[in-house]
Amino acid sequence: MTHGIVCAPQPEAVEAGALILKSGGNAVDAAIACALVQTVVDPQMCGIAGFGSMHLYLKDRGEHLFIDFHGRAPLMVKEDMWEDLIVGEAEDGFGFVLKGQINELGYASITTPMSLKAYDEALKRFGTKSLAELLEPAIDYAENGFMVRPHVAHFWNQVETTGRVSHMKYLTEDPSSRKIYVKDNGEVRIPGETLKNPDLANTYRKIAEQGAESFYEGEIAEAIISDMKDNGGLLTMEDLKAVDVNQTDPLWGEYRGFRIATNQPPGGGIMLIEMLNILENFDLAAIGHNSSEYIAIVSEAMKIATVDKDQHVGDPNFVDIPVERLTSKDYAQEQADRIKQGVITHVPRIKLSEESKDTTHVCTTDDAGNMVSMTHSLGMPSGTITEGLGFMYNGCMGVFDPRPGKAGSLKPGKSRFTAMCPTMIFDGDNPKMIIGAPGGTYITMGVLQGVLNALDFGMDAQKAVAAPRICTTSDIIDITNRIPRFVENELTDKGYEVRRSPLGYHFAGVHAISFDDNGKGSGGADPGRDGMALEV
């Protein structure tokens, strides 16, 4: 008997989720078990002090909803407190570089930790297992160690340019972080070596015994806030006690007769729907997959949605977002006509360059037809760990706009835009695909191409996530190294600036589960990450 499928970038996490399915758990249980192990074995990509968006289709209950747990600016922030510190803006709009890097590294970079609250909420409402039971695999990996994988080591050793924090600082600047991640000889571990984190194991044991409440107003919360006070952090006990999650309905769209369900702002679903609506006006299958014409058209749709996001999309509790207009077919037709007329969209930026993409994803299904697609993240790691707790805090303050009066400007209690867009596609009422990705602002672009690959070109999940990708979130078309050079030359001849990545798999780490006409599912894990899909 098939119990379901789990797909994620970390084999250890996938196995943990799959074993929960085998033991009788549902898709929600499996997703949370997977996510908790991810916090241990990919500790700079995600953590219990992170944030995210959880998409739940619960066929056995007749419910379809999101649990959104976006990080919030601490109540102590002021809209103009960093206005005079701006050095530049990331090329794709994922954050700002400030003097002293105070929004990226250290205690001032931390937004309200949301993830544990969301996991606990989902389990209490929709799961069949307890949080304590699902923590067991994560505790085991923290206590006894996990083998460092190539993607983890690559991240640790990645050197950012033009002012962004070099990743090694996440591991070395804070004494509590250095104790966990740096060996006695001053080096970090290489692929194949084992990393143990007994402090995190002890924290997870306390949560298993005392409940998630301990993190927000109990023993763990007191340790967090004491550390914040001692080191100039912005978080207060008031922030932790105010943590709650938002239940929202899916944001719906339609593409070539398929129904698209994705997340509401401040998530990236609005961009995905806008781009699909624009591209519906072109016969992409006839144009040809990854031809120069195809890449130019898709790139223009990406740029249009990026400009609209920068200008209009933020926390709907603080920003009046024109959702209906941006997701309308009429608006999409206008934008498609501009593309057909040869209009090239310009993406304004305060010049800088690339940024890190520190997020992870999980897709699950079960034998009752339930499905979960969850993206969760640290945004950018803060590099900060409270002594004895073992987990790293998020660094999400780095994405807020330090300029007052913008859609993404700082305000107390405000969430910032995130490109996370855990998405489900239906053919009528029948599931067609579950898809999502880590990857900063690359996320919507990677998910878009996975959807196009499935719906326009008939690819299954594995082929859809493995096909060569492009990304255009600035005036430059970024391409992976598997895009042919003759295609690059044709784009250059059209007047585009093209930048080739040395990587064959890049621009988000897309993961998906697709379903054939008989409802049989198959998983697809992005070959650029270390993950897998496992059916049990």
pLDDT per residue over 94-115, tens digit each?
A: 678 888 888 888 999 999 999 9
Instruction: Characterize the bridge pairing of strands 392-394 and 86-89.
Output: unpaired
Greatest CA separation for the chain:
64
Read off the tokens for 446.
């990677």
Peptide bond into 266 cis (omega under 30): yes
Kindly name the residue from 203, 306, 359, 423 that is annotated as catalytic: 359
Q: What letter would DSSP give residue 466?
A: H
Instruction: Give whole-number Cα distances, 426 to 65, 258, 451, 475, 535, in Å.
Output: 15, 6, 12, 33, 21
- β-strand partners of 435: 423, 512
Of 311, 322, 394, the closest CA to residue 358 belongs to 394
Stretch 254-276: mean pLDDT: 98
Instruction: Give whole-number Cα distances, 60 to 57, 66, 427, 441, in Å.
Output: 9, 16, 19, 34
Of 227, 228, 318, the closest CA to residue 265 belongs to 318
- The pTM (predicted TM-score) of the whole model is 0.95
Q: What letter would DSSP give residue 35?
A: H
Radius of gyration of the chain (CA): 22
Coil, helix or strand for 256? coil
Read off the tokens for 412.
């107390």
pLDDT per residue over 44-70, tens digit each?
A: 999 999 999 999 999 999 999 999 999
| Percent helix, percent strand, percent coil in the chain, to nearest 5 | 40, 20, 40
Instruction: Give whole-number Cα distances, 409 to 22, 232, 419, in Å.
Output: 46, 21, 16
Stretch 309-324: mean pLDDT: 95
Could you please report the per-residue DSSP string of 119-159? HHHHHHHH-SS-HHHHHHHHHHHHHH-EEPPHHHHHHHT--
405 vs 179: CA distance, rounded Å: 41
Burial class (CB in 10 A: 0-12, 13-18, 19+), 324: exposed
Domain residue ranges in the chain: 248-353+420-523
Output the CA torsion sign for 75, 79, 80, 85. positive
Q: Is 359 a catalytic residue?
A: yes
Q: What local confidence, expressed as pLDDT, does residue 207 receive? A: 98
pLDDT at residue 352 tops 60 = no
- Domain over 248-353+420-523 is classified CATH 1.10.246.130: yes
Q: What percent of the chain shows pLDDT beyond 90?
A: 88
Q: What letter would DSSP give residue 396?
A: G
Q: What percent of the chain shows pLDDT beyond 70?
A: 96
Read off the tokens for 460.
């299954």
